[in-house]
Every structure is written in structure tokens, then in C-alpha cells.
Amino acid sequence: MPVGTIAGALLAIVGVVGVLVPLVAWAERKQAALVQGRLGPRRTELAGISALGLLQPLADLLKILGKGDPPLKGPMARLRGMAPLVALIPVLSVIAVIPVASTYRFGDATLRFVVADPAWGLLYALVASILALYAGVIAGLTSSDPLARLGALRSLSHLFCAPVVLGLAAVSVFLVYQTLALPEMAQAQDATFRVFGFLEFLFGVPLTGGLAVLTWFTLPAWGALLQPLGFLLFAAAAVVGTGRAPFDAPTAGPELAGGHLREYAGVRLGLFQLADHVAVLGVAGLLVTVFLGGWSIPWLPQAHLVDFVARGVGSFQGFGSGFANGVCVSLHLICFAGKFGIVLWVLIALRGGLSRFRSDQVIALCWGILVPLAFLNIFMTAWVVLGVTGQGGN
Amino acid sequence: MLAEFTGILVVMFAGLVGALTVLAVSARLAPHRPNRRTSPPSAHSSGWAGPQRVAVRFYRVALVFVIFQVALAFLYPWALVFRDLRELGLVAALAFAGPLGVGFIYAWARRGLGP
């Protein structure tokens, strides 16, 4: 088992840092170019093939490796040197708890698509992503540059409000799923619920006769549909947490010219940017897993799919259990990748589409609107859960 | 317990090794000719000026933040066992959040939550 875990962990890290991060870096530049009416990167070539500038991240890496990194001086130099690692390592570890597909049985062997499955997965992901926020504070406060210190203070003020919203939004999610483990959450969303089921609950009348038509309307039991407000709160707070546009006041170019990143250059700056890209991937993975059904295919639960392909229906003979599980794995991976790509694109597009929030606006937004809404959401959810479980099922 | 951590620790360790490798490679490849223009302290200051003094309101906001984070820590176990507690759980949570809400409204009205 440990061998499998280690192999999976290395595969995940290579896939994220080696494939997804360069893609995000490229998509980010292309998207910015699109918004600003430019062409974006397109001149990197390998054997005459430029492939829309897809090789640009590789060129960037080579450039960064060869860049001079002025030695950090002063009493805090060691701490400042470590700040990029503080930014990178926790966000990188978040990818370990995100399940990209379900659990499958091949004879006696069980195939799992998550690196680590602790009972406290979502809690760990929240803590790790918040821990990374401290890197900006460390980098800025140990800097000799006043603008960098201002950036650190802005980071600090975001740090004082975003985790509260994130944590409160997560509480309402726990109320629904009754678990902190991400694979179990994704599993719970591999189902449907009846859209008009609440009518039964409200009026105490079973939907029979002519009303039975209403029971045909089902929706996938995704977190975003059961917890629409929680989804929006979680997404907003998570974007504040990554310090990305439109909540990038700590590093705002026009005012602070990089903020806490001002005195970094070369590889250390590159590690900060890598951490930024990994953080986006982590947030997208969490949003998909917790709120958008994870790997699940809408209206097609895993058990039904495997059963159908393995045994068949009527004259259709079926292909056996192994083949069915293989089909299921592929479809689930494709489904996860599709949702993941869409969420990722929305997060990237936000950067070009929205203007920057001032730090005090972020605080006013978090404390004044999001925190009260999150509390309201928790108690509304608790009340509904109470009603639904009292009636027996949803 | 440790088995649950294995995957996370491996990812962390691999990330650390990768980052340190890149730093080491860059240290060998990159030119190392620091001069007055490229080296900190930058044009804006004359060096690290000791621990930064920040406005007292940061500590005030930090305290409110800590209070809410601690309250949050109590809400997690509550949320996980809520279906067993039922009505009692809802009442208890309201009793818990009530004083918190009063304090929150007071802090908000006195503009104690922002700069």
C-alpha cells in the first residue's frame, strides 16, 4: 500500500507541476492577451512548430533559471529566503486530498484515484491553503521596502477575513454531507434529488396521481445545487485566499508594484508564481469536488453505469465487470477533467474581467456581507436538514 | 494515523526536493554580480528597520478574527453530529451564535472590523 501511495503522490505532483501548471500559465497569458486585444505568446518554437505558444512556459523556466538572484541581506534574510517555500509546499499538498475519480474494483484489486484519504480531508485543504497566505506576510514584513510592507499589511487584512468566510461556508457543507472526507463527499453527489420534493415536505402531501409527473424532474445532488449560497461564499472566499485578481490588492501592480514580491527575483519569484498557479488548481479542484459533483456523471450513478456495461440489458449481452469498471474510470476521469477545466477557465477569466477590489472593500465585503450571509446559510441549512431527515429521506 | 498522512507527506517532500533542486540549479547557472542597483535595500529605504510598527487597529481586527476562528472550530464538530442532536443542536447553536452575533453587530457598528 505505501508503494502505491508514493507512486500516486509522485504521479500527481508530476502531473500538476509538469503539465497543469504550464497549461495554466499559458492559458493565463493567452486569456489576458485576448481581453486586451493582443496576440499573447506565440513565438516559442521547437523544430519549427510553435503550437500557439504552448512552449512559452518552458522558455520562461529556462529564462528564470538563468536570472540573477540578488543575495538577501539583513537580519531576516533566512526567513525571507524561506517564504517562497512557505507559499508553495502547503498549496502543493492540497492536491493530495482531491479525488479525481471514484474507487473501482478489479477482481480482488481496488483502484483508488486519490493520493491521501484522511477523514479530515476538506479541513486539511482549508488549513493548508490558509497557511500559504502567511508567506506573503512573512515576505513583506521582513522586507526593507516600504511598499513591500504595505503589501504585507494588505495580505494580513485579507488573512483576517477570508478564512472566516471559507470556514463558515464549509460548516454548511458539513451539515449536508456529514463528513470531512473529500472522496465521501464526491460519492454523496453521485446521486439525484427530486426538484419538487420540497412540496411534499411543505404540504405533507405525497406526490401521487397527476402530481406524480413532478417526481420525474430530478437534478444531480451536487453541492452547488443543494448549497447555492454556500457555493458562492466558498468560491469568493477561496479566490480572496489565493490573492488573485480581483482580490490582488497586496501585490497590486499600479500601486505597490508587486507588493511583498518586490524584492524577489529569479527562481524565488518563480516559486511564488508557481505557488500562485498551484493554488488556482487547488481551488478549482476543491470547488469541483465539494460543489460540482467531483468525478460523478450527472444522472448516471457509478453503480448503474458499471451494472449496465457489465451485464447489459435485454438482447445486449454486456462486456463483463473488468471492462465495465475500465469504461467507468475513463468516463469519470473525463467528467472530472471537463468540470475542472471549466472552473479553471472561469477563475482565469476573472482576472481580465473584473476590476480590483481595494483592501478595505474586501474587508467590508467579507465582514459586512459574506460573514452574516454564511451564518444565515448555516442556520437555514440546519433547519432544512432537520425537516428533511425528520420526514425520512429527501 | 501516520498512514493517512503518507500521501500528503510524500507530496510535500517531493515539492520541497523539487524547489530546492531548482534553487540549486539556478545558483549554478545564474550570473552572480550584485551591484548597487540590483541589491536591496531598494531606492525607497535605507535597510531593514527592525520589527514593523503597525497601527493598533490591526491588533483589534486580529482579535475579532481569532474570536471568530475559535467559534468556527466549535461549529465543525457540531455540524458533523447535527443529525443526532436534532432540535437540541439547533437551539444550542443559536444560543452559541446569539452572543457572538451581538458582539459582531457591536463591532461592526463601531467600525471595529476594518481599517
Cβ of B80 and A116 within 8 Å?
Answer: no
Q: A77-94 and B2-29 are packed helices; what angle lies between their axes, rounded to 10 degrees?
A: 130
Q: Which chain B residues are Cβ-neighbours of A93 within 8 angstroms? A: 8, 11-12, 15
In DSSP terms, A112 is beta-bridged to A103
Q: What was the pLDDT predicted at A392?
A: 41
User: What residues have CB less than 8 Å from A9, skipping those under 6 apart?
Assistant: A96, A115, A116, B6, B7, B10, B11, B14
B17 pLDDT tier (thresholds 50, 70, 90): very high
Q: CB contact, 8 Å: A33 with chain B?
A: no
Rounded Cα–Cα distance for residues A197 and A216 (Å): 10
Q: Using the 8-state DSSP alphabet, how is residue A49 labeled?
A: B
The beta strand positions in chain A, using DSSP E, are 103-106, 109-112, 192-194, 218-220
Give me the interface pTM, i.e. the ipTM: 0.81
B 85-114: CB under 8 A from A: 86-87, 89-90, 93-94, 97, 101, 104, 108, 113-114
- Compute the average pLDDT of residues B102-111: 83
Q: What was the pLDDT predicted at B7?
A: 82
Measured CA distances, A333 to A99, A101, A294, A337, A375 (Å):
10, 6, 10, 6, 35
Q: CB contact, 8 Å: A262 with chain B?
A: yes
In DSSP terms, A111 is beta-bridged to A104
Could you write out the three-class secondary structure of A224-256? HHHCHHHHHHHHHHHHHHHCCCCCCHHHCHHHH
**Residue appearing with cell numbers 484519504:** A117
Rounded Cα–Cα distance for residues A392 and A244 (Å): 43
pLDDT tens-digit readout, B43-87: 455 555 556 677 777 788 788 888 888 888 888 888 888 888 878
Q: CB contact, 8 Å: A127 with chain B?
A: no
First-to-last C-alpha distance (Å) of chain B: 43
Q: What was the pLDDT predicted at A110?
A: 77
Q: What was the pLDDT predicted at B46?
A: 56
Q: Which of A34, A30, A35, A26 is nearest to A55 (CA)?
A: A26
Q: What was the pLDDT predicted at A145?
A: 74
Cβ of A124 and B8 within 8 Å?
Answer: yes
pLDDT, mean over chain B:
78
Q: What was the pLDDT predicted at A157?
A: 81
Side chain identity at residue A178, one-letter code:
Q
Q: Environment class of residue A47 by beta-carbon count within 10 Å: exposed (0-12), middle (13-18) or buried (19+)?
A: exposed
Q: What was the pLDDT predicted at A331?
A: 86
Q: What was the pLDDT predicted at A259?
A: 72
Pick from A1, A165, A174 the residue to mutate for testing the B interface (most B CBs within 10 Å). Answer: A174
Q: What was the pLDDT predicted at A164?
A: 87
For residue A385, give how far its alpha carbon lies from the nearest alpha carbon of chain B (Å): 8
Rounded Cα–Cα distance for residues A207 and A214 (Å): 7
Side chain identity at residue A242, one-letter code:
T
Please list the pLDDT of chain A residue by residue as tens digits (394 residues).
Answer: 578 778 888 888 888 888 888 888 888 888 888 888 888 787 777 777 777 778 888 888 888 888 877 766 666 778 888 888 988 999 998 888 888 877 777 777 777 788 888 888 888 888 888 887 888 888 887 777 777 878 888 888 888 888 888 888 888 888 888 888 888 888 888 877 776 666 666 666 666 666 666 666 778 878 888 888 889 999 988 888 887 778 877 777 777 777 777 778 788 888 888 998 899 899 999 999 988 888 888 887 877 777 777 776 666 666 777 777 788 888 888 988 999 999 998 988 887 777 788 887 888 888 888 888 988 888 888 888 887 765 444 4
Rounded Cα–Cα distance for residues A272 and A135 (Å): 9
Q: Which chain B residues are Cβ-neighbours of A266 within 8 angstroms? A: 26, 30
Q: What was the pLDDT predicted at B43?
A: 47
Rounded Cα–Cα distance for residues A301 and A311 (Å): 16
Cβ of A153 and B31 within 8 Å?
Answer: no
Cβ of B104 and A371 within 8 Å?
Answer: yes
Task: Nearest by CB to A367, from B39, B89, B114: name it.
Answer: B114
